[in-house]
């Protein structure tokens, strides 16, 4: 289902190379799962990756049809058998269990987008886990053999997440409730080394004397001030039936702590306020799904959007809580949103018990405040094309997801002007501000 700005559009996915008219995915592949894994590209959200027992990727057909519903089979081509199109047998990877799509790597002080990067985890008929990686958009998905032959021993991967500034580093949880960090070789091969980070988590996930399963992993990342990885902070959250657990920069002796008892999961509809300007009761929000905006308004009702935040990011009223002042802005759902949240006094008490996390968190709060200040300055210093180019450079992961009306308001433009600018600035050099 796509959002075209004025209406929601439900359509079937057509598989490229299956004649005219093209065959839909549901008619082409009989291995579609009841809960179907898919992933939007983290650096180009117009791209989609789907895993059944095969891998499909968003790919406009030639000659062009509607680009919103064309997908291509990867690792093989469609074959015609007894008058019916079906996937080539050699393209089968096993039942897909997890996907990660799109990545970045560092280049001096900047980041390079790598939209062709993709990881796919699967299980075979013997319930053994496999891991595949594609290192660029023109390559095939190749098995990472060391997942099966090395220390992980071929456990079924339940979830996978990439370091947002180093696509070669990734984290997974497997069917044995173990946590692993993988490092793909930098030589262009699919050789990888794995480090177990399970630490003390086996003791924490026991419920009623039984060990529960871990099913998900999320990474909260702070790249620090240096252009290298020397001052990076990785806060890893893993969860399942037994709770949610946190480790900071985990190693082989990782000490996990239980975070879940403090958190509440909340769902919000598009347009719902999570915090209202002037509130004195404050909360800490971690975004699980969807997108939030921070907004200020004057007594006449005129609004200014200060920032957007999406999955794996946070929003907070921590500074106002520390200053003992009402919240100076509202936090509003841009899309349907799910958050993990807790009252600010509870979060502050938790931080006091974890001083390293407190320092990193307060640095992140100052960084957010600095970004808001930089945005308000650029509204005065840059012309309209410059403001759009700066946003695309600073937030490529959000550029394709924010509704046009919201993005126009953020850039202090009309929606019509924004549409014209998008067509006119292609190929222009982006401002460094």
Residue 429 lies in a domain: no
Q: What is this structure's pTM?
A: 0.66
Q: Are 67 and 115 within 8 A, CB to CB?
A: no
pLDDT at 122: 97
Q: What is the DSSP string of 44-79?
A: -TT-EEEESSSEEEE---SS---GGGEEEESSS-EE
3-state secondary structure of 422: helix
- Tally of structural domains, the chain: 4
Q: Are 303 and 294 within 8 A, CB to CB?
A: no
Residue 141 and residue 181 in one domain: yes
Cα–Cα distances in Å, from 48 out to 2, 115, 201, 333? Answer: 12, 11, 33, 24
The domain boundary, picked from 92, 113, 143, lies at: 92
Residue 273 and residue 248 in one domain: no
pLDDT at 6: 42
Residue 246 and residue 162 in one domain: yes
Give dist(CA 141, CA 347) in Å, integer: 42
pLDDT at 62: 60
pLDDT at 3: 45
Residue 108 and residue 43 in one domain: no
Residue 148 CB contacts under 8 Å (≥ 6 apart), including other chains:
128, 129, 130, 154
Q: Are 36 and 25 within 8 A, CB to CB?
A: no
Residue 150 and residue 208 in one domain: yes
Please list the rounded mean pLDDT of every run of 10 residues in the chain (433 residues).
45 84 91 90 89 91 60 94 94 96 84 94 90 93 95 94 94 94 88 93 65 81 67 84 80 79 85 94 91 92 91 90 93 93 88 78 89 90 90 81 90 90 65 50
Supply φ then ψ for residue 370, to 5 degrees. Answer: -65, -40
Strands 314-316 and 8-9, sheet pairing: unpaired
Residue 105 and residue 250 in one domain: yes
Residue 125 and residue 246 in one domain: yes
pLDDT at 85: 95
Residue 253 lies in a domain: yes
Supply φ then ψ for residue 66, to 5 degrees. Answer: -70, 115
Q: What is the DSSP letter of 429?
A: P
3-state secondary structure of 306: strand
Residue 431 lies in a domain: no
Supply φ then ψ for residue 176, to 5 degrees. Answer: -95, 10
Residue 240 and residue 269 in one domain: no
Residue 360 lies in a domain: yes
Give dist(CA 217, CA 346) in Å, integer: 23
Nearest residue to 224 (alpha-carbon basis) of 104, 364, 362: 364
- The whole domain housing 284 covers 263-376
Q: Are 33 and 50 within 8 A, CB to CB?
A: no
Q: Are 167 and 183 within 8 A, CB to CB?
A: no
Nearest residue to 195 (alpha-carbon basis) of 252, 110, 254, 116: 252
Residue 120 and residue 245 in one domain: yes
Residue 104 lies in a domain: yes
Residue 246 and residue 120 in one domain: yes
Residue 230 lies in a domain: yes
Report H helices in 355-414: 355-381, 384-394, 396-399, 404-410
On the CB side of 113, how many CA atoms lie within 13 Å of its CA?
A: 12
Residue 332 and residue 244 in one domain: no
CA-atom Rg of the chain in angstroms: 23
Give dist(CA 45, CA 47) in Å, integer: 5
The domain boundary, picked from 262, 282, 302, lies at: 262
The domain boundary, picked from 262, 292, 323, lies at: 262
Residue 105 and residue 236 in one domain: yes
Supply φ then ψ for residue 12, to 5 degrees. Answer: -80, 150
CATH number for the domain including 321? 2.60.120.10
Residue 177 lies in a domain: yes
Residue 430 lies in a domain: no
């Amino acid at each position: 289902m796509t959002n075209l700005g004025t209406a929601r559009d439900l359509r079937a996915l057509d598989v490229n190379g299956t004649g005219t008219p093209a065959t839909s995915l549901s008619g082409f592949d009989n291995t579609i799962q009841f809960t179907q894994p898919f992933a939007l590209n983290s650096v180009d959200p117009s791209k989609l990756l789907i895993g059944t027992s095969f891998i499909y990727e968003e790919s406009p057909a030639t000659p062009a049809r509607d680009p919103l519903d064309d997908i291509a089979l990867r690792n093989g081509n469609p074959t015609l058998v007894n008058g019916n199109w079906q996937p080539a047998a050699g393209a089968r990877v096993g039942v897909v269990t997890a996907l990660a799509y799109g990545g970045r790597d560092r280049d001096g002080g900047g980041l390079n987008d790598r939209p062709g990067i993709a990881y796919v985890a699967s299980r075979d008929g013997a319930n053994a886990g496999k891991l595949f990686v594609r290192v660029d958009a023109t390559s095939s998905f190749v098995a990472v053999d060391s997942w099966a032959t090395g220390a992980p021993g071929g456990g079924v991967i339940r979830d996978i997440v990439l370091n947002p500034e180093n696509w070669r580093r990734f984290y997974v949880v497997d069917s044995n409730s173990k946590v692993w960090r993988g490092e793909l070789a930098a030589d262009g091969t699919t050789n990888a080394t794995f480090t177990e980070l399970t630490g003390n988590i086996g003791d924490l996930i026991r419920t009623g004397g039984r060990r529960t399963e871990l099913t998900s992993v999320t990474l909260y990342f702070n790249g620090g001030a240096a252009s290298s990885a020397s001052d990076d902070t990785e806060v890893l959250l893993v969860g399942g039936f037994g709770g949610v657990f946190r480790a900071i920069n985990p190693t082989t002796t990782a000490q996990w702590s239980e975070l879940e008892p403090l958190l509440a999961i909340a769902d919000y509809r598009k347009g719902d306020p999570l915090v209202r300007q002037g509130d004195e009761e404050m909360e800490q929000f971690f975004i699980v799904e969807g997108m939030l905006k921070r907004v200020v308004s004057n007594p006449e009702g005129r609004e200014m959007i200060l920032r957007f935040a999406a999955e794996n990011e946070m929003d907070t009223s921590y500074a106002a809580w520390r200053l003992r002042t009402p919240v100076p802005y509202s936090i509003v759902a841009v899309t349907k949103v799910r958050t993990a949240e807790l009252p600010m006094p509870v979060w502050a008490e938790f931080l006091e018990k974890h001083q390293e996390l407190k320092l990193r968190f307060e640095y992140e709060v100052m960084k957010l405040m600095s970004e808001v200040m930089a945005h308000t300055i650029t509204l005065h210093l840059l012309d309209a094309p410059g403001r759009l180019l700066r946003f695309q450079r600073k937030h490529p992961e959000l550029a394709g997801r924010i509704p046009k009306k919201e993005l126009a308001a953020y850039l202090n433009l009309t929606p019509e002007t924004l549409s014209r600018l998008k067509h006119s600035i292609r190929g222009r050099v982006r401002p460094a501000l």
